[in-house]
Chain A
Amino acid sequence: DVKVTQSSRYLVKRTGEKVFLECVQDMDHENMFWYRQDPGLGLRLIYFSYDVKMKEKGDIPEGYSVSREKKERFSLILESASTNQTSMYLCASSLERGPPQETQYFGPGTRLLVL
């Protein structure tokens, strides 16, 4: 079974703090993704990575950065947290590009509250 783990289930931070969200997958997947999920807006892609040290912007990258130094680990960084970044953050991984290996497996999510 694919396992995707995220460093925290719940996180409370103050405005302006630097926030690190860690994601680790144990199935040697090439692709990793960070989403945020908000009521009524669904899952929105923040950043993704096809390989170590590679990253590409998703649909809403503003205010975020990422790091992928090792294949199994993909970090999301909020350089200066703001209240509008309060959300559920979901990490996902998939084996390869293109069908049929593109099924994404999700971690349990991190609920971030920025005060």
Chain B
Amino acid sequence: RKEVEQDPGPFNVPEGATVAFNCTYSNSASQSFFWYRQDCRKEPKLLMSVYSSGNEDGRFTAQLNRASQYISLLIRDSKLSDSATYLCVVNPTGTASKLTFGTGTRLQVTL
């Protein structure tokens, strides 16, 4: 089983739609969780950290479910500029700085 698993997509949604991605992780001791965004042929960039209580940043909401070992990302009112690959990222040890990256979920927002 992969340490971090994501549906590769693509998710094709119209502008204005709400879309959600899930990601599962295998190590129950994992402490830190993130969503990164990667545009085509660019480097990954931090979108948001995921806290136990869940967190929101504008149109983006991240949730953590420790019991089921998954994290989610919800994007409301999708924009064309949201088209990208979204990487689920986990720190499996909590003490070191090594991060484990999922292979990403591709989102395509269309007119």
State the A residues within 8 Å of B (CB).
31, 35, 40-43, 45, 48, 50, 58, 90, 94, 96-100, 102-109
Between A and B, 23 residue pairs with Cβ closer than 8 Å are A42-B104, A43-B44, A43-B101, A50-B97, A58-B98, A90-B43, A90-B44, A97-B95, A97-B96, A97-B97, A98-B94, A98-B95, A98-B96, A99-B91, A100-B32, A102-B32, A102-B97, A102-B99, A103-B46, A104-B46, A106-B44, A108-B43, A109-B43
> In chain B, residues 21-39, which have Cβ atoms closer than 8 Å to a Cβ of chain A?
31-32, 34
Interface of B is mostly: loop
Contact, CB under 8 Å: B31 / A99 = yes
Pick from B32, B34, B49, B101: contact of A42, CB below 8 A. B101
Rounded to whole Å, the gap between the CB of B9 and the closest CB of chain A is 13
User: In this complex, which of B95, B96, B97, B99 has the most chain A Cβ atoms within 10 angstroms of its Cβ?
Assistant: B97
Q: What is the number of residues of chain B that contact chain A, defined by CB distance less than 8 Å?
A: 22
16 more CB-based (< 8 A) A-B contacts, given A41-B103, A42-B101, A97-B96: A42-B87, A42-B102, A42-B103, A58-B98, A90-B44, A96-B97, A97-B97, A100-B32, A100-B49, A102-B99, A103-B46, A104-B46, A105-B46, A106-B45, A108-B42, A109-B42
Contact, CB under 8 Å: A106 / B98 = no
CB neighbours of B91 from chain A (8 A): 99, 102
Contact, CB under 8 Å: A31 / B102 = no
Rounded to whole Å, the gap between the CB of B70 and the closest CB of chain A is 17
Return the 6 tightest CB-CB contacts between A and B, nearest first.
Answer: A42-B103, A106-B43, A43-B101, A102-B97, A31-B97, A99-B32
* CB 8 Å contact bits of B84-111 with A (1 = contact, 0 = none): 0001000100111111011110000000
CB neighbours of B97 from chain A (8 A): 31, 48, 50, 94, 96-98, 102, 104
CB neighbours of A105 from chain B (8 A): 46
